[in-house]
Amino acid sequence: MKFITITTDFGNLNGFTGTMKGVIFNITPDAQIVDITHEIPAQDVRTGSIALWRAVPYFPAGTVHIAVVDPGVGTTRRPIAARLGDQFFVLPDNGLITPMLEDAEAAGKDIVIVHLDKPEFWLPVVFTTFHGRDIFAPCGAHLAKGVRLEDMGTIITDPVRRPLPKPSKSDRGFAANIIVIDVFGNCSTNLRVSQVPDLAKTTLKIAGQTIEGIVPSYGHRKPGELVAVTDSEGFVEIAVVNGSAANKFCIRLDDPVEVIFDD
């Protein structure tokens, strides 16, 4: 079984992702395809990269991840493919790959990136408005079918990078930011819980509110209360118990979070 995931900002309205699956099954009929999400906000490369980054570690070795959030479709931006350790990626060269690439580099994994410049792996006709169907889907399918990455394009070492904002050290802790808001209105920061010396002895400030302590789970506070917890990837998360922190306190992506380590 060959696993392929798809992450896009195409929505589920027009059948674009269904069409990509038709292309994939034409090339490799025994693929197993998983949708990560197709509801990335239009052309929001960073949110797309985070959604994929959070899902990748849970997939089997050899999985091919196709991601298309591609404001530059039809321009000279390169289509690329990469092998980062035991996972494959097929996506536009616009920074989408950054968090996965940084993790692979930090872990000392084997890294190969190619410019997908060989039209024999594309569909015969390529429209400038839908490389997801005409380039990324067929290239991902060929990879899943067993074509060697190195045979699919020219090796490059200068992929476009768009690093996520990193929390910065402050006098008494960290200046962090909200980088993910989920469907429940839970707001994840870019600060790892492992960077916090004592969860109970930590004060957080966001949106004019003060939160005392990072608790083990939502259930440790009453419904409606604003809490800090560990999110599902190990980052500090701001949430309202059985409610939406984003809605209740008008929290948006990039909003600052002051994390203070109490004396």
**Quick check: 36 binds its own copies (CB under 8 A)?**
yes
CB crowding 234-247: b at 16 or more within 10 Å, else e: ebbbbbbbebbbbe
Running DSSP on this structure, what letter comes out for residue 214?
B
Q: Report the DSSP pairing between strands 209-212 and 31-37.
A: unpaired
**Quick check: 165 binds its own copies (CB under 8 A)?**
no
Q: How far is the CB of 168 from its own copies (least distance, A)?
A: 25
Task: State which of positions 174-203 bind its own copies (CB under 8 A).
Answer: 180, 182-184, 186
| Nearer CB in complex with its own copies: 24/149 | 24
Q: How far is the CB of 221 from its own copies (least distance, A)?
A: 11
| Nearer CB in complex with its own copies: 55/175 | 55
The pattern of x and - marking residues 81 through 120 that bind its own copies according to CB under 8 A reads ----------------------------------------
Q: Report the DSSP pairing between strands 173-181 and 226-230.
A: unpaired
Among 86, 105, 119, 127, binds its own copies (CB under 8 A): 127
**Quick check: 19 binds its own copies (CB under 8 A)?**
yes
Q: How far is the CB of 97 from its own copies (least distance, A)?
A: 16
Among 165, 224, 234, 256, binds its own copies (CB under 8 A): 234
Q: How far is the CB of 263 from its own copies (least distance, A)?
A: 27
